[in-house]
Amino acid sequence: MNSRFYYILALLGYFGLFILLSVWTIYLAPPTIFPISIVLLFYVGPLLIPLRGLLHGTLYTHAWVHFMALFYFTIGVMIAAANIEERHYAVAQVVFSIMMFLGSMMYVRIKAREDREQGKSE
């Protein structure tokens, strides 16, 4: 498979996670203790940091976005284990974070190899 497939997989995981967390926080299960805006700022806000680099296919951004995907994976597993009512949302969060993790990891690996081979052939 080429790097384009993994690039699209990473973006699907990223945007799926972004949309899921936004809709989950605003409509599906709004927080009762904290204001929605504060929860969005701390829960969904960090996803805005790598947006430009992910859209441009920057290898460096795809390389460090793994840590962010692992963070959301961990939160999803904890919510799935602790909250029965929101378990299916948490499982979707885990799936999207795995898609983002694997997609960006394989994109960096294959794209770097493609660039190296392209540089040798010229």
The rounded distance, in Å, linking the Cα atoms of 77 and 39 is 18
Whole-structure pTM value: 0.92
Residue range 77-106: average pLDDT? 96
Question: Is the separation of the CB atoms in 44 and 18 below 8 Å?
Answer: yes
pLDDT in tens, 8-56: 999 999 999 999 999 999 999 898 898 999 999 999 999 999 999 999 9
Question: Is the separation of the CB atoms in 12 and 103 below 8 Å?
Answer: yes
The rounded distance, in Å, linking the Cα atoms of 36 and 45 is 12
Q: Where are the domains of the chain?
A: 3-121
The yes-or-no verdict on residue 122 having pLDDT over 70 is no
The yes-or-no verdict on residue 120 having pLDDT over 80 is no
The rounded distance, in Å, linking the Cα atoms of 53 and 50 is 5
